Amino acid sequence: MAPVAAMTALLDVRNLTRSFGGIKAVDSVNFTLQQGEIRALIGPNGAGKTTFVSLICGRVPVEQGTILFNGKDITRLPAHKRVRAGIAYTFQITSIFANLTVRENVELAGMREGHDGSAALAVLKQVGLDHLAEQKAGDLAYGHQRLVEIAMGLGLHPRLLILDEPTQGLSEEEVAAFIALIREIARNTTVLLIEHNMHVVMELAQRITVMQQGRILAEGTPEEIRNDADVQRAYLGA
């Protein structure tokens, strides 16, 4: 994989702000994500991480600031058009269709957003679920349900895949498989990962962005973040 410095910016956010009840959940954030990068977004609960990515994907309207994706201003673009532009977002809590088969979940996710759902089996093979394609999604173990959701995102053929707490509730073995999967996905897709599991963050991320109270506290390589005194005090428990 090419060094981050040689990559082209895919996402460029400037002065992004969003308030709820007078409290700034996201406060004048500037953020750049490079094409082909795996970036981790970390911070304590309430830091504004999920609101931030919800602004990027259009689930929450922007109060102030601009969002450029692939060089185009998408600040006011509806969420479904951002999906078609190449942004896929999987949720912190699984949002599969429990009564549909695994294959139907992936096909439906694509068809709802104007994509061809016929490649579902190829996507399921990529995440290791092709052997469960005809099983009801609601009957799967929790870890497999999380993989179905990732497959639903990949079925949209995104340029940017945003994952919100994807390893929550997974076993150690499932976490190890997830790390390998994301490395494979990142060959063709830029990944933005909200994650509390610091082992996953340090294993996967090329760069880490740390949020605190709606602002960016620090950014850097895993080694830089591990050694940052402000981050240690605010988040890593030192």
How many angstroms separate the CA atoms of 214 and 53, rounded? 12
How many angstroms separate the CA atoms of 123 and 237, rounded? 39
Q: Is residue 82 part of a domain?
A: no
How many angstroms separate the CA atoms of 31 and 67, rounded? 9
Q: Which of the four pLDDT bands, split at 50, 70 and 90, describes residue 169?
A: confident
Q: What is the pLDDT of residue 26?
A: 97
Q: Which of the four pLDDT bands, split at 50, 70 and 90, describes residue 113?
A: low
Using alpha carbons only, give the angle 194, 100, 154 rounded to the nearest 5 degrees: 35
Boundary residue ending a domain (128, 157, 186):
157
How many angstroms separate the CA atoms of 92 and 165, rounded? 5
Looking at residue 60, which CATH number applies to its domain?
3.40.50.300
Q: What is the pLDDT of residue 230?
A: 87
Of 6-15, 81-90, 224-233, the poorest mean pLDDT is in 6-15
Number of domains composing the chain? 2
How many angstroms separate the CA atoms of 86 and 222, rounded? 27
| Whether residue 188 is found in the same domain as residue 153 | no
| Whether residue 67 is found in the same domain as residue 115 | no
Mean model confidence pLDDT for the chain? 89
How many angstroms separate the CA atoms of 35 and 27, rounded? 25
Q: What is the pLDDT of residue 237?
A: 58
219 touches 207 (CB < 8 A): yes
pLDDT tens-digit readout, 28-53: 999 999 999 999 999 988 899 999 99
162 touches 88 (CB < 8 A): yes
The DSSP annotation for 138-194 comes to GGS-HHHHHHHHHHHHHTT--SEEEEESTTTT--HHHHHHHHHHHHHHTTTSEEEEE
- Reading the block at residue 165, the tokens are 């707490």
| Whether residue 228 is found in the same domain as residue 191 | yes
120 touches 155 (CB < 8 A): yes
CA distances in angstroms from 36 to 7, 58, 216, listed in the order given: 7, 22, 22
Instruction: Give the closest residue to 147 by CA, choosing from 172, 117, 122, 177.
Output: 177
How many angstroms separate the CA atoms of 215 and 122, rounded? 39
Higher pLDDT, 4 or 130: 130
How many angstroms separate the CA atoms of 120 and 101, rounded? 11
| Whether residue 194 is found in the same domain as residue 217 | yes
Residue range(s) defining the domain that contains residue 146? 87-157
Q: Under DSSP, is residue 146 helix (H, G, I), strand (E, B) or coil?
A: helix
| Whether residue 104 is found in the same domain as residue 222 | no
Nearby residues of 92 by Cβ (< 8 Å), 6 or more positions away: 50, 164, 165, 168, 194
Instruction: Give the closest residue to 95 by CA, choosing from 114, 85, 108.
Output: 108
